[in-house]
Amino acid sequence: MDLLNTLVDKGLRRELPTRDEALAVLATSDDDVLDVVAAAGKVRRHWFGRRVKLNYLVNLKSGLCPEDCSYCSQRLGSKADILKYTWLKPDQASQAAAAGLAGGAKRVCLVASGRGPTDRDVDRVSDTIKAIKDQNEDVEVCACLGLLSDGQAERLREAGADAYNHNLNTSEGTYGDITTTHTYADRVDTVQKAHAAGLSACSGLIAGMGESDEDLVDVVYSLRELDPDSVPVNFLIPFEGTPLAKEWNLTPQRCLRILAMVRFVCPDVEVRIAGGREVHLRTMQPLALNLANSIFLGDYLTSEGQAGKADLEMIADAGFEVEGAGEVTLPEHRLTAGADCGAHAEAGCGAHADAGCGSHEGGGVCGSVKVQAEQEQPAEARTDLVAVRRRGAGTDLAPNA
């Protein structure tokens, strides 16, 4: 049985691949990328059919963040020419959310820059959640406000929040190279607080910051151990005016391999293509729908995305369908098992399972898929595709949805 057949078999059983297997996916050649997509697509379709969940971002407070995250255009000291504004009022945020919901989104993600919310900020967001749900009873609301203090997740849940997002972003071993004003452990703690409060945990990563394959596997295995319901995969948008402005490390083929690896390691969770898909996947975005079952509609926090109409056409043309408000995203076993580690059959929730694949003793990778012998060539810098958001929340212009 070759590598991809092994990974499909494990994905259908929710069994954790070995680290060697996950690394082998990232090391496959461009000649084999369609085979990799086809294999991971079997796992995606088994758990999620051909549904694509649409999510819509509302940036409640933009810029002027005191944290120094190197990838972020809103960071301390950023010279990126982005929109900067303080908190939107609840009715402004509700109006912004309405545009995304009219475009087919079933989840609204409320995001605010900053280290973490004050209690007054939680009150503001709670009022915003209520305003949105008063107008749209069935909408899912996810909050993303930074590091949470004790009791804040519970207050957001009481206000009607369904989920909380806080990304791990990169591996624990390299986290200090990306951010110095808070720690990897701080991020893990916030995801755990969201879980404990009964919120659906959402946590993902950013690829393309100069990390190694081992770093990517490390962070995805850590996410598997944390057991979020959704894993957003961001591809770095190298904003001018940030420390990572010169990091152009991704090709469309590498992005597809990363998404496939995430799907194999997290087979039954909502894998979301997040920021940077237009910049790095480009014309290969439709192929990525075979790997991920969720995308953001329209624009991002500080950058413009593909036109919302083009997103919907892409989904239809690729043979997928937009997930309806009445449809349940997650497989039934995740809804009933919650955060129980027993939901992961056979392999458990261990972040480092190095027992090898099947009958191949010693942990060696089994398979006939061609592995690249040389390091990938640097990607072309496509600065023309990085557009700062000038419409929607915080402006007088209509949003992209």
Q: Respond yes or no: is residue 51 known to be catalytic.
A: no
Q: Find the catalytic residue in 14, 44, 51, 109.
A: 109
Q: Find the catalytic residue in 69, 255, 266, 357.
A: 69
Helix/strand number for the chain, H first, E second: 14, 10
- Single out the residue of 55, 62, 114 nearest to residue 84, CA to CA: 62
CB 28 within 8 A of CB 371: yes
CB 230 within 8 A of CB 189: no
Q: Respond yes or no: is residue 65 known to be catalytic.
A: yes
Q: Respond yes or no: is residue 224 known to be catalytic.
A: no
Q: Find the catalytic residue in 107, 144, 202, 334.
A: 202
Q: Find the catalytic residue in 14, 257, 272, 277.
A: 272
How far, in Å, CA of 228 to CA of 165, rounded?
9
How far, in Å, CA of 23 to CA of 316, rounded?
32
Residue 273 phi, psi dihedral angles, 5° rounding: -80, 120
Q: Find the catalytic residue in 51, 107, 142, 255.
A: 142
How far, in Å, CA of 163 to CA of 157, rounded?
8
Q: Respond yes or no: is residue 144 known to be catalytic.
A: no
CB 310 within 8 A of CB 283: no
Q: Find the catalytic residue in 19, 65, 255, 334.
A: 65
Q: Respond yes or no: is residue 272 known to be catalytic.
A: yes
- Backbone conformation region of residue 146, classed left if phi is above 0, alpha if psi is from -120 to 50, else beta: left
Q: Tell me the CA distances in angstroms from 45 to 314, 337, 390, one per residue in order.
A: 18, 21, 37
How far, in Å, CA of 282 to CA of 263, rounded?
20
Residues assigned a catalytic role? 65, 69, 72, 109, 142, 202, 272
